[in-house]
Amino acid sequence: MDGQSSLGAFLLARRSRLRPEDIGLATYGERRRVQGLRREELALLAGVSASYYARLEQGHAHNASPEVLDAISHALRLDEVERRHLHDLAGSAVRRRPARRPPPERVDAATRTLLDSMPDVPAVVTGRRNDILAWNPLGHALFAGHLDATAPDRPADRPNMASLIFLDAHTRDLYASWEDKARAVVAGLRYAAGRHPGDALLAALIGELSMASPEFATMWADHRVRMCTVAEHRMRHPLVGSLTVTQQALRLTDDQLLVVATAPADSEARTALRLLAQATAGVVGKEREAGVGVFPPAG
């Protein structure tokens, strides 16, 4: 989907979610043929003409000023992340640059040192497309211990967190509330796609997931956008059982996130993480040399 059609689809999706009563508009029991607000109603809220807003929703953003986009954001009741996403989409509709294949993402030495310095905290580094660029041993054991521990070191073999969530049986079973995790991943990909409309690899990933997973296709069509920061997840790990952790995404660069999983001191989850570290500590080195995971894949 190019910048123009993405812009129109996002505006339409957001407009359809606003009901007349949300903005104090009386309908007097009339039967409405559209879901949500009409174009002219949204245009009135934003202070633009109905014809101008219609052109924006059709993807024609050539003359959309930041002030107009902010007014539409306010009318649509977008949060800050969604507002920035709208600006990104409007900008990509104007630029319309051809998709290009970017160079492989790399993790710098300081980030690798950071991972090594936190052996008791599961941690992974993800890139703009949710590729896993690096992890520490406990991060590997918690999130994807069935995979080759050395895979992130090879750009062509890097696991992709979005693909794991939707297409990998082990990762799907890992999350008790899988749908919540899946929706968060899709919302994060939406944000990345708006920021990087010319990323051919990101476009290919979205296309592949849309074809391979009807659930992904449905969630993608919802046009929700969000930057994942902090969320609590109950996980069902094959080695240490059930544990509830707080996953935090800390921004390292514009495109790289450090994702860590923490648990309160003296909690059952903290004990489970210590057991996981002990259970895998003796085999991680051997498994890295063998190029396999620290436990067998599911099924």
pLDDT tens, position by position, 225-267:
887 789 999 999 999 999 999 999 999 998 999 999 999 999 9
Max intra-chain CA distance, the chain = 72
Can you name the residues that pair with 125 across neighbouring β-strands? 134, 258
- Predicted local confidence at residue 62, as pLDDT: 64
Residues 171-191: b if buried by 16+ CB within 10 A, e if exposed: bbebbeebeebbbbbbbbbbb
pLDDT value of residue 224: 87
Per-residue pLDDT at 23: 67
Name which of 14-23, 50-59, 204-213 the model is least confident about. 14-23
pLDDT at 36: 78
Mean pLDDT of all residues in 122-131: 95
Average pLDDT, the chain: 85
Predicted local distance difference test score (pLDDT) of residue 4: 55
CA–CA separation, 286 and 137 (whole Å): 12
Domains of the chain: 3-95 (1.10.260.40), 109-290 (3.30.450.180)
Q: What pLDDT, on a 0 to 100 scale, did the predictor assign at position 248?
A: 95
pLDDT (average), residues 46-57: 86
**By percentage, how much of the chain surpasses pLDDT 90?**
49
What is the per-residue pLDDT for 187?
93
Encode 136-200 in three state secondary structure. Answer: CHHHHHHHHCCCCCCHHHCHHHCCEHHHHHHHCHHHHHHECCHHHHHHHHHHHHHHHHHHCCCEH
HEC-encoded secondary structure of 203-245: HHHHHHHHHHCHHHHHHHHCCCCCCCCEEEEEEEECCCEEEEE
Confidence grade of residue 282 (pLDDT, cut at 50, 70, 90): low
Distance (Å) of CA 104 to CA 101, 133, 163, 278 = 9, 10, 18, 34
If you count them, how many residues does the chain have? Answer: 299
179 contacts: CB under 8 Å, gap ≥ 6: none
Residue 199 in this model has a pLDDT that exceeds 90:
no
Number of other residues whose CB lies within 10 A of the CB of residue 276 = 22
Task: State the pLDDT at residue 251.
Answer: 92
Q: What is the pLDDT of residue 82?
A: 87
Most confident of 14-23, 81-90, 286-295: 81-90
pLDDT at residue 73 is higher than 90: no
The whole-model pTM stands at 0.78
Query: In what order do the strands lie in the sheet containing 230-237?
Result: 132-135, 123-126, 257-262, 241-251, 230-237
Local confidence band at 48 (pLDDT 50, 70, 90 cut-offs): confident
* Model pLDDT, residue 162: 96
